[in-house]
Structures are given as C-alpha cells and as structure tokens.
Amino acid sequence: MPAEIIDGKKISSEIKESLKEKIEDLKKGGEVPGLAAILVGDNPASQVYVNMKAKACEKVGIFSEVYRYPKELPESELLKKIDELNRKKTIHGILVQFPTPRRISEEKVILAIDPKKDVDGFHPFNVGMMLAGKPTFLPCTPLGIQELLLRSGNDPSGKHVVILGRGSLVGRPLAPMLYQKTKGANATVTVCHTGTKDLLGITKQADILVAAMGRAKFVTADMVKPGVVVIDVGTNRMEDSTTKSGYRLVGDVDFDSVSQVAKAITPVPGGVGPMTIAMLLSNTVKACEMLSTNRSAD
Ligand code: GUN
C-alpha cells in the first residue's frame, strides 16, 4: 500500500492559524511581534527563503523588516547592524540567512545575536540550554520535524530514529532533541554520516528515518524497512526544462520508490519546508512574549 503523505503545508497552516490568535492577544496588550531578517549576497535560494519568511510574517500579523546587502558588505558592518537590532525595541527576533558569503564568519554572526532574540536557536547559549534539557529557542527545522511527527501521529517515543547527516542546521541539533526524556522525544537515535560503515545495515533498522545530508534521491526503497516513517529534509535543485524556472526541487529521498514501502513520508516540496517557516514564526511570537514579560517586570 502506498505511504500516507505527511502534509507539511496543511500542518503548518494549522500552526499559523493558532499563532494568529496569540498575535491578536499580544496586539491587544500593545505588543506587535517583530522579526528582522538579514540577507547578504545574491544566493538565489536564500533570496527565495527570505522572501517566503517575510511573506509568512505578514500573513499572520508579525511585523517584519528585511535588510538586503551586497556580497561585498564588510563583516564589521553586518555586526554593527546586528548590534543595532539587538537594541531595537520593536524587533524581537533576528535572523541572518545562511550561508553568508565566505568572507563573513557565521560563527561571529551567531555570537553577535542577543540569545533572547535568537529565533533560529543557533547561539551557543541556546544550544547549551537545549543540551541541558532546559526550555529555550530550538532551531526551526528540527522543531518542525518534531511537530510533523507528533501531529501526524508518529510520536518518536520508544522508536529508533536514524538521522542521515550531522550538519549544524538539522542533524546535529535534531539528535539530542529527540533522545531527551521529554514529551514528543524519548527516542533511540542513531546519526549516520560520511564516516559511517554499513549504512544499509543501520537505515534498515529505522522506525523513523530522517534524510538530511543534501544528496538528491539518495535514499532508495532497498535501504528502508517496510512500514518506516520517512522525513525528507533535502531541497536539491534539479534541472528541468519543462518548468518555468528551469529546475525543480527534489528531496534526499527517492520518493517514488520509498513511498511504495513506507508507512508515511513527507513530500518535497510541501513537507519539512513549510514547517521550518511556521516554527520561525512561533519562535518570534515566543521571543515577543518573553521580552515583553521581562520589560513589564522592570
Ligand atoms: N539557511 C538554511 N536554513 C536556515 C535556517 O533555518 N536559518 C537561517 N538563518 N539560515 C538558514
């Protein structure tokens, strides 16, 4: 039987609807959540993502500002802008779209953002809080994956989750998030990477397989066990002359073959992508709630 499709678009719409109500309440109390997004350079995918994030803010009633800079922007100028936004009262969340041009240190950028406005959950303070099992900002894509699993009835608790990829945006933070002894986690987690031997032997054990290594259609039906739940984080551009843009997006999973054996699977596009944006909005609302609570306590 073909797999159930886990519809990230639909689930993210439900989350955004409930955020709208929270935002209305905040507005009644005189607070408007605000997000500042910074884009340096002209990476086409990053431009698309930043535009999508700004549009999503507008739709739910979050105030947003987008700062676009040429790739020649000196690192010091970017750090100055972040400092200004850290102090700006109308801004509760700051994100710098990655990757930045190579001359700009992503580490310095992350460290420059006030952890209280770090809606990406990348600052070492927030990463440390997460590893300690304390409430904090969690990175948007891993958080979106966790929500997708829960809201599609695939609670990871007690399951063997195999993550393909140890990248800083997905695999690395997702593993500790899912093995913690908390609601919606409590899984046994294996992370596979370029040093993994007998990959097939491990992927075949997965109850839940998360593909996040950035290789188009890498996961095929022979690599998974029947009944597996598959989360595809890949967004690889493949040339396609039949589309207007000249390309189409494909995941890290060979959807056509894997969907014949899986119990459930996320599509690309329309799976994890919309959830990442919904979680960014959710983190921005959370930042606004926390910063306004702190201000009224002053
Ligand atoms: N580039 C790819 N994913 C992300 C993300 O979640 N946040 C930021 N800031 N940049 C990204």
Q: Quick check: is 121 in a domain?
A: no
- When pLDDT is averaged across residues 76-94 and rounded to a whole number, the result is 98
Do 147 and 207 lie in a common domain? yes
Q: Is the pLDDT of residue 295 over 80?
A: no
Asked whether the predicted pLDDT for residue 39 surpasses 90, the reply is yes
In a domain, 20, yes or no: no
- Does residue 191 sit in the same domain as residue 261? yes
Indicate whether 146 and 110 sit together in one domain. Answer: no
Question: Residue 210: beta bridge partners?
Answer: 163, 231
- CA-nearest residue, atom 8 of ligand 1: 97
Q: Are 236 and 250 in contact (CB under 8 A)?
A: yes
The answer to whether 268 touches 233, Cβ cutoff 8 Å, is: no
Q: Using the mean position of ligand 1's atoms as its centre, give its distance from the Cα of residue 39 in Å.
A: 11
294 domain residue, yes or no: no
Q: Name the maximum alpha-carbon separation found in the chain.
A: 59
The pLDDT assigned to 296 comes to 67
Assess if residue 12 is contained within a domain.
no
Bigger pLDDT: 244 vs 298: 244
The answer, yes or no, to whether residue 294 has pLDDT greater than 80, is: no
pLDDT at 298: 61
- Contact (Cβ atoms closer than 8 angstroms) between residue 88 and residue 62: no
CB of 95 within 6 A of ligand 1: the answer is yes
8 Å CB contact between 192 and 162: yes
Structural contact between residues 174 and 202, judged by C-beta atoms closer than 8 angstroms: no
- Between β-strands 63-69 and 247-250, what pairing exists: parallel, antiparallel or unpaired? unpaired
Q: Domains in the chain: how many in total?
A: 2
185, 254: one domain? yes
Residue 99 CA, closest ligand 1 atom number? 1
For residue 269, cis peptide bond before it (omega within 30 degrees of 0): yes
Q: What is the mean pLDDT of the chain?
A: 97
Polymer length of the chain: 298
Q: Is there a domain that residue 119 lies in?
A: no
Average pLDDT over residues 4-21: 98
- Residue 68 and residue 145 share a domain: no
Tell me the per-residue pLDDT of 207-240, one tens digit each, with 9 for 90 and over. 999 999 999 999 999 999 999 999 999 999 999 9
Q: What is the average pLDDT across 146-171?
A: 98
206 and 147, same domain (yes or no): yes
Which CATH number is 145's domain given? 3.40.50.720
Query: Who wins on pLDDT, 297 or 157?
Result: 157
pLDDT at 194: 97
Task: List the domain range (segments joined by +) for residue 195.
Answer: 140-273
Q: How far is the CA of 198 from the centre of ligand 1 (A)?
A: 31
Are residue 171 and residue 259 in the same domain, yes or no?
A: yes
280 lies in some domain? no
Helices (H), strands (E): how many in the chain?
A: 10, 11
115 has a pLDDT exceeding 80: yes
**Where residue 98 sits, what CATH number does that domain have?**
3.40.50.10860
When comparing pLDDT for 297 and 273, which is higher? 273
Pocket flag, ligand 1, residue 272 (CB < 6 Å): no
Same-domain pairing of 145 and 258: yes
Lowest mean pLDDT of 21-25, 43-47, 293-297, name the range. Answer: 293-297
Domain contains 60: yes
pLDDT of residue 292: 86
Active site positions, annotated: 53, 97, 120
Mean pLDDT to the nearest integer, 145-149: 98
**203 and 262 together in one domain:** yes
How far apart are the CA of 98 and the centre of ligand 1, in A? 5
Minimum-distance ligand 1 atom for the alpha carbon of 95: 9
Q: Counting atoms of ligand 1 from 1, which one is nearest the CA of 276?
A: 6
- Across 109-138, average pLDDT: 98
Residues 149 and 229 in one domain: yes
Could you read off the pLDDT of 63-77 as tens digits, one per residue? Answer: 999 999 999 999 999
Q: In angstroms, how far is CA 246 from the centroid of its own chain?
A: 26
Ligand 1 within 6 A of 140 CB?
yes
In a domain, residue 179? The reply is yes
Q: How many CB atoms lie within 10 A of CB 48?
A: 11
Percent of the chain with pLDDT over 70: 99
Looking at the fold, whether 149 and 268 belong to one and the same domain comes out as: yes
Identify whether residues 146 and 240 lie together within a single domain: yes
